[in-house]
């Protein structure tokens, strides 16, 4: 074996999880290989993307706020229930999210991922692009390296961090992850539309670098289970739909048709008017939540980010990048500890899970473990948003006739489609999933 092909740690995938891990490992003085199949990091990576809790990285990179290529910080969050021809929104704005450490910032993944990987390289990691990892290499039950799709493609290290994204090939090959069901995977289809800075600021009531993150449920995806999003970048909009694969297959609708339909909804069309499509992309998202989290380690191997299904997708929340970063950092710390001990056994690497249990990563996933099922509830997806809009319409309707009190107006509308009993039960489930 060439000395050149021996590293102290190998990280597969230069997304937020992999680059954060490589950064920490390289800073500690390890020889790290960061392997990425794209021409450059982020070339094919897809997110909305709002990077929540960016303070995670700012702690590690003091120059973060001056240097990181983020577009806008989110001060406005909107949740919209779409009926067929109406929309009911909760619109929240706060100046408290307008100061570092911001609560969330929009990023364009090709730029952001490249920048973050660059930080790992500055710290001393060797970034190996245009190189696909095909398999893991073993010695007995222990992972000792990876096999790349190039001639003489073996690379060796006592610890490998698989950060190869959703539907991780490596986690499955290592027997850590089971096959998914189509209910647990979603497909995100996304466009970047160019509108120009002025138009964005005027259309979305933003000043300076403020930004908006807007989520949609209901008619957004027609009869398909899922939702839609619309985020503001500096001069572009990112918008897309995220739909459950099982439901998509069942209804036989093409995802881009859904995206078009969303863009034509009367509440959305004026927001995207005259937008020029710059990018179109699609990517899978593991949305199974807690149930889908695999075994996270075995001797010589740790799994981080989407590869370990560490995505917090709970209706109004879609957070994956911050989970990826936090898990990448935890994986790196565990690998460092293993190096100190000179022990890469499953027992030492099990410290990774403990770290995640102490952080928001596994705590949030566990706490909100009922949410995915609740969010995919048929009524929540397809009936309540419409009913809510109808109820609002009744409340605001002025017909020159005597009105009923609002409570009974709303209740009558709701009960026109679902029984009181179902309503109560869904209310209880909503509470269990999100509130208490």
Partner 1 sequence: MRIAVCLKQAPDCSSVYVDPVSGEVDRERFVQTLNAADACALEAALRLKEQRGGSLFALTLGPDESDEVLRVALAMGADTVERLWHPSAVDWGPLTIAAALAARLHADSSSLPDLIFCGEQSSDWASGTVGPALAAYLGLPQITGVIGLEALPDPSGQLLLRVTRRLERGYRERLLTRPPLLLTVHETLNEPRYPSLPAHLAALQATIAVCDPLSLPQFAPDVEAEEATIIEVRIPRPRPHRLAIPDSQLSPFERIGEIVSGGTSRRQTRLLEGPPEELAHELVRFLKERGFV
Ligand X SMILES: Cc1cc2nc3c(=O)[nH]c(=O)nc-3n(C[C@H](O)[C@H](O)[C@H](O)COP(=O)(O)OP(=O)(O)OC[C@H]3O[C@@H](n4cnc5c(N)ncnc54)[C@H](O)[C@@H]3O)c2cc1C
Confirm or reject binding of residue 350 to partner 1 (CB under 8 A). Answer: no
Contact pick of 90, 99, 278, 420 for partner 1 (by CB under 8 A): 278
Confirm or reject binding of residue 244 to ligand X (CB under 6 A). Answer: no
Site string for ligand X, 361-380 (x = CB under 6 A): --------------------
Task: Give 154-220 as a DSSP string.
Answer: EEE-S-EEE---TT-HHHHHTT-S-PPPTTTEEEEEEEEEE--HHHHHHHTT--TTEEEEEEEEEGG
54 binds, among partner 1, ligand X, none (CB under 5 to 8 A by kind): none
Contact pick of 283, 298, 353, 355 for ligand X (by CB under 6 A): 283
CB-count exposure of residue 281 (10 Å: 0-12, 13-18, 19+): middle
Contact pick of 121, 157, 258, 324 for ligand X (by CB under 6 A): 324
Tokens in use for 49? 């993307």
The overall longest dimension of the chain from CA atoms, in Å, is 87
Task: Choose among 372, 178, 135: nearest CA to 294.
Answer: 178
Contact pick of 240, 255, 288, 300 for ligand X (by CB under 6 A): 240
Contact pick of 98, 128, 246, 370 for partner 1 (by CB under 8 A): 128
Contact between 154 and 136 (Cβ < 8 Å): no
361 binds, among ligand X, partner 1, none (CB under 5 to 8 A by kind): none
Residue nearest to ligand X (CB): 320
37 binds, among partner 1, ligand X, none (CB under 5 to 8 A by kind): ligand X
40 binds, among partner 1, ligand X, none (CB under 5 to 8 A by kind): partner 1
Tokens in use for 284? 């899978």
CA distances to 8, 215, 332 from 339, rounded to whole Å, are 8, 43, 10
Angle at 191 (CA atoms; ends 185, 192), nearest 5 degrees? 135
Confirm or reject binding of residue 103 to ligand X (CB under 6 A). Answer: no
Confirm or reject binding of residue 152 to partner 1 (CB under 8 A). Answer: yes
Nearer to ligand X, 164 or 364 (CB): 164
Contact between 330 and 251 (Cβ < 8 Å): no
Rounded to a whole number of angstroms, the minimum distance from the CB of residue 121 to partner 1 is: 10
CA–CA separation, 228 vs 80, rounded Å? 10
CA–CA separation, 21 vs 333, rounded Å? 8
CA distances to 71, 194, 326 from 97, rounded to whole Å, are 15, 25, 21
Nearer to ligand X, 172 or 379 (CB): 172
Q: Which stretch binds ligand X (CB under 6 A): 66-74, 290-298, 302-310, 385-393?
A: 302-310
Tracing tokens 């997304």 back to the chain, one arrives at: 15
Q: Which stretch binds partner 1 (CB under 8 A): 89-97, 151-159, 173-181, 210-218?
A: 151-159
Return all residues near 99 (Cβ < 8 A) that are at least 6 apart.
none
Q: How many residues bind ligand X (CB under 6 A)?
A: 44
Q: Which stretch binds ligand X (CB under 6 A): 35-43, 57-65, 244-252, 337-345?
A: 35-43
Rounded to a whole number of angstroms, the minimum distance from the CB of residue 62 to ligand X is: 22
**Cα distance from N-terminal residue to C-terminal residue, the chain:** 56
Which residues of the shown chain bind partner 1 in the complex (CB under 8 A)?
A: 2, 4-5, 39-40, 43, 110-111, 126-128, 131, 148, 150-155, 194, 276, 278
């Amino acid at each position: 074996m060439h000395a050149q092909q021996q590293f102290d740690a190998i990280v597969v995938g230069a997304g937020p999880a992999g680059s954060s891990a490589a950064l920490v490992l390289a800073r500690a003085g390890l020889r790290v290989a960061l392997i990425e199949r794209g021409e450059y990091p982020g070339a094919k990576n897809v997110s909305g993307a709002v990077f929540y809790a960016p303070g995670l990285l700012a702690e590690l990179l003091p120059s973060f706020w001056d240097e990181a290529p983020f577009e806008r910080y989110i001060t406005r969050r909107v949740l919209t229930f779409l009926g067929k021809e109406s929309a009911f929104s909760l619109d929240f704005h706060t100046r408290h999210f307008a100061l570092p450490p911001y609560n969330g910032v929009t990023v364009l993944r090709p730029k952001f991922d490249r920048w973050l990987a660059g930080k790992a390289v500055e710290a001393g990691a060797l970034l190996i692009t245009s190189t696909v990892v095909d398999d893991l290499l073993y010695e007995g039950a222990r992972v000792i390296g990876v096999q790349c799709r190039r001639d003489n493609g073996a690379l060796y290290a006592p610890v490998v961090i698989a950060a190869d994204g959703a539907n991780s090939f490596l986690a499955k090959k290592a027997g850590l992850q089971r096959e998914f069901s189509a209910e647990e995977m979603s497909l995100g289809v996304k466009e970047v539309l160019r509108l120009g800075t002025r138009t964005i600021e005027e259309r979305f009531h933003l000043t300076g670098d403020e930004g908006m993150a807007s989520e949609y449920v209901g008619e957004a995806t027609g009869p398909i289970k899922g939702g839609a999003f619309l985020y503001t970048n500096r001069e572009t909009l990112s918008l897309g739909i995220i739909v459950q694969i099982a439901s998509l297959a069942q209804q036989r609708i093409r995802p881009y048709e859904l995206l078009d339909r969303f863009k034509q909804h009367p509440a959305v069309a004026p927001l995207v008017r005259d937008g020029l499509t710059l990018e179109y992309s699609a990517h899978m998202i593991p949305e199974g939540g807690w149930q889908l989290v695999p075994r996270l380690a075995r001797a010589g191997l740790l799994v981080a980010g989407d590869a370990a299904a560490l995505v917090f997708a709970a209706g109004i929340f879609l957070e994956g990048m911050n989970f990826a970063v936090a898990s990448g950092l935890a994986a790196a710390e565990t690998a460092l500890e293993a190096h100190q001990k000179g022990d890469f056994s499953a027992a030492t690497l099990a410290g990774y899970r403990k770290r995640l249990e102490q952080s928001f990563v596994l705590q949030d996933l566990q706490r909100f473990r009922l949410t995915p099922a609740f969010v995919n509830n048929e009524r929540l997806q397809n009936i309540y948003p419409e009913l809510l809009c109808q109820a609002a319409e009744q409340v605001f309707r002025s017909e020159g006739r005597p009105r009923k009190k609002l409570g009974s107006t709303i209740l009558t509308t709701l009960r026109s489609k679902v029984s009181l009993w179902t309503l109560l039960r869904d209310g209880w489930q909503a509470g269990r999933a999100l509130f208490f």
